[in-house]
């Protein structure tokens, strides 16, 4: 969730959209395979669900940034933990009141599967969420979105290293385009912060590792974003809760009353709605349509960051990010 559970989608992502979204929203956990469609689930057309998803995805990121930098609630570990706890409870409520989590009936989580697959993937998921949210303390929303474009490259590099996928000329061109684009965007960043850059780079590495591990360890399991969240949210929440005393201590609990519990609850609710929207999104359109929707969302989000938060972007960043987006579209459509 960008604490949330971003990207959004994140294909290289669970729902083949824009894995770049793992950001501040509860990055939707990806599934290894496409879930079996359920006749009991309601359907929404592409023209309805894509605008809803774009609005929710952008809202989560902007809302999180507002919490961190405007309200000065600078506790990403706490916020991620709060989002995950909300999601763990929310998916169980949906399981008892709707058909949205019916896919969980098709997933058999044994003790061995939990220890060998769910737990290690959960650790990577927690690290990705915490680091991606921490980056907002140092970098602008616009620049973070540009850096997230590097996620497909990280996935390919990891896949090549462990020989999960064979290199090809086309993939090499994609790697070069995205890498060159992100490098240009970084060179053009006016408020470059090394700590923030390294933090976001680490978040991308953990997220890419998580997605590759899902393909290896959960191959054949059918989990859509909400079912994945149903299983991962409790695990990640407990992991984060264990490290919270050593990272942020009791400070965020004191700050909750200053910011207001309703602010945090509404923030977590919007992040949870994003994951619910992802359920409808995965079956709404073709991979190309969803990829283009993700690209449009990122452009809209960067523009919104400039207008709402006064972020500065340079012509060099526009050129670099355009090149990276071209490589991203090529990556998504090459599968």
- Domain range summary for the chain, segments of one domain joined by +: 19-333
Quote the pLDDT of residue 248.
96
Quote the pLDDT of residue 225.
83
**Separation between Cα atoms, residue 176 and residue 96, nearest integer Å:** 48
pLDDT means over runs of 10, the chain (335 residues): 45 36 40 45 77 92 94 96 97 92 85 89 95 96 91 90 86 92 92 94 94 81 84 95 95 94 96 88 68 83 83 90 89 74
The total of other beta-carbon atoms located within 10 Å of residue 93's CB is: 10
Contacts of 23 (CB under 8 A, 6+ apart): 2, 4, 6, 7, 8, 61, 64, 132, 133, 144, 145, 148
Q: What residue spans of the chain are helical by DSSP H?
A: 46-65, 76-97, 111-113, 119-134, 141-148, 151-161, 169-187, 194-217, 225-247, 251-259, 261-281, 287-309, 315-333
Quote the pLDDT of residue 220.
66
Quote the pLDDT of residue 35.
47
**Separation between Cα atoms, residue 241 and residue 194, nearest integer Å:** 28
Judge contact between 48 and 236, C-beta under 8 A.
no
The total of other beta-carbon atoms located within 10 Å of residue 70's CB is: 10
Predicted TM-score (pTM) of the model is 0.82
The total of other beta-carbon atoms located within 10 Å of residue 256's CB is: 15
């Amino acid at each position: 969730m960008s604490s949330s559970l971003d990207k959004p989608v994140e294909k290289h992502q669970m729902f083949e959209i824009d894995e770049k979204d793992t950001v501040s929203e509860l990055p939707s956990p990806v599934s290894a395979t496409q879930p079996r469609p359920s006749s009991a689930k309601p359907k929404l057309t592409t023209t309805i669900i894509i605008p809803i998803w774009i609005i929710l995805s952008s809202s989560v990121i902007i809302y999180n940034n507002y919490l961190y930098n405007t309200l000065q609630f600078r506790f990403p570990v706490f916020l991620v933990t709060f989002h995950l706890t909300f999601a763990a409870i929310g998916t169980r409520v949906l399981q008892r009141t709707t058909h949205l989590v019916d896919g969980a009936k098709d997933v058999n989580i044994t003790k061995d599967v939990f220890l060998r697959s769910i737990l290690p993937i959960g650790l990577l998921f927690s690290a990705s969420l915490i680091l991606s949210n921490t980056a907002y303390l140092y970098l602008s929303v616009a620049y973070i979105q540009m850096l997230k474009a590097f996620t497909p490259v990280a996935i390919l590099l990891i896949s090549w290293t462990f020989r999960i996928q064979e290199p090809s000329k086309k993939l090499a061109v994609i790697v070069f385009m995205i890498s060159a684009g992100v490098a240009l965007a970084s060179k053009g960043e006016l408020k470059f912060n090394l700590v923030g850059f390294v933090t976001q780079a680490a978040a991308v590495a953990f997220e890419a590792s998580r997605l590759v591990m899902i393909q290896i360890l959960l191959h054949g399991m059918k989990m859509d974003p909400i079912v994945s969240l149903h299983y991962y949210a409790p695990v990640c929440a407990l992991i984060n809760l264990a490290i919270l005393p050593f990272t942020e201590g009791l400070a965020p609990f004191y700050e909750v009353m200053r910011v207001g519990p309703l602010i945090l609850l509404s923030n977590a609710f919007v992040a949870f709605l994003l994951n619910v929207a992802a359920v409808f999104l995965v079956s709404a359109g073709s991979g190309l349509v969803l990829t283009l929707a993700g690209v449009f969302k990122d452009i809209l989000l960067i523009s919104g960051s400039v207008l709402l938060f006064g972020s500065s972007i340079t012509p060099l960043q526009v050129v670099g990010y355009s090149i990276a987006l071209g490589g991203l579209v090529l990556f998504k459509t090459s599968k």
